Amino acid sequence: MKNSTAARAGRHGARAGAAVLLAAGSLAAFVAPVTAAPSCAVPAGVTPMAPFPPPPSQVVTSATVSHYVLSLTWAPEWCRLNGSKPDAQTECADHSRGFVVHGLWPTSDAKPYPRFCRTVGAIDPATFGTAWCLSPSAYLLQHEWEAHGSCSFPTPAAYFGEEAALVGALTLPDLDRLPTPVGTAGDVRAAFTRLNPSLTQDMIAVQSDRKQRLGEVHVCYGLDFHPARCSHADYGAPNRVPIRVTPRAG
């Protein structure tokens, strides 16, 4: 998931389009094409999901987008909890996975956060094939497009293309294979900043459960998609909090 020429090109295109969108205040203004990650092999029989009605209580169309959060799930922990679910089988059968992409979230500085901002359709097959590389779940991809992509991006290609570009600009640490084991949330942040000089620790949110198991890491971005300091609401566990990192199964 390191930088590539395609990822840099996609990121440039997405940022240019986003600038037009923000200036015009209209989704229709965002027309710049975005290059997503290279295609990978989608399992036979797996296709994009049909759109599903959003829960009425989760529809928030009036919130102002102030920044973005790239959510990265630590797959070993997610699979420990959810690996028996049908939609998780492909992801969790690959024991080499560390971080996978949960989503790219347009968000606000305080609740309510924008969600399901407009009615959108299914993800087109070409975009689905590239997005699958980062988030191997048909349900998750459709959910993220409906719940979050709909709030800032006009098409699935634009949404998942920006997501792929942001991930492609990061080097993601193998948290269960570091020379010095992770012991605190500060160690998680330090692992990211060592590999990514563009990040500082206050740009990284660490999410854990009540048993202090690492669930996700969130990287915060401004409206220009440059890394930015996380808001207090986004920040997650303070550096001193102990963190348990579930190791990969193989």
> 3-state SS of the chain?
CCCCHHHHHHHHHHHHHHHHHHHHCCHHHCCCCCCCCCCCCCCCCCCCCCCCCCCHHHCECCCCCCEEEEEEEEHHHHHHHHCCCHHHHHHHHCCCCCEEEEEEEEECCCCCCCECCCCCCCCCHHHHHHHCCCCCCHHHHHHHHHHCHHHCCCCHHHHHHHHHHHHHCCCCCCCCCCCCCCCEHHHHHHHHHHHCCCCCHHHEEEEECCCCEEEEEEEEECCCCCECCCCCCCCECCCCCECECCCCCC
pTM for the structure as a whole: 0.85
Is the pLDDT at 228 greater than 70? The verdict is yes
Six-digit token string for 164 = 């792929």
pLDDT beyond 80 at 87? no
Nearest CA among 128, 161, 133, 170 for reference residue 1: 170
| Cis status, amide bond into 112, omega within 30 of 0 | yes
The string of pLDDT tens digits covering residues 93-107 is 888 899 999 999 999
Backbone torsions φ then ψ of 56, nearest 5 degrees: -55, -35
Q: What percent of the chain has pLDDT over 70?
A: 84
150 with 63: CB under 8 angstroms?
no
Contact 246/177 with Cβ under 8 angstroms? no
Predicted pLDDT at 17? 38
Average of per-residue pLDDT across 199-207 = 97
**Residue recorded with tokens 């973005």:** 68
**CA 106 vs CA 2, 42, 79, 112: distances in Å:** 23, 27, 26, 12
Contact 190, 173 (CB under 8 A): no
Which pLDDT does position 2 carry in this prediction?
44
Q: Is the pLDDT of residue 116 over 50?
A: yes
- The residue behind tokens 């080499």 is 96
Instruction: Kindly state the average pLDDT of the residues 105-130.
Output: 95
The per-residue pLDDT for 124 is: 97
Question: Quick check: 70 pLDDT over 90?
Answer: yes
| Largest CA-CA distance found in the chain, in angstroms, rounded | 49
The CATH number that domain 5-36+61-221 falls under is 3.90.730.10
Query: Could you tell me if 100 and 51 are in contact, meaning their C-beta atoms sit under 8 angstroms apart?
Result: no
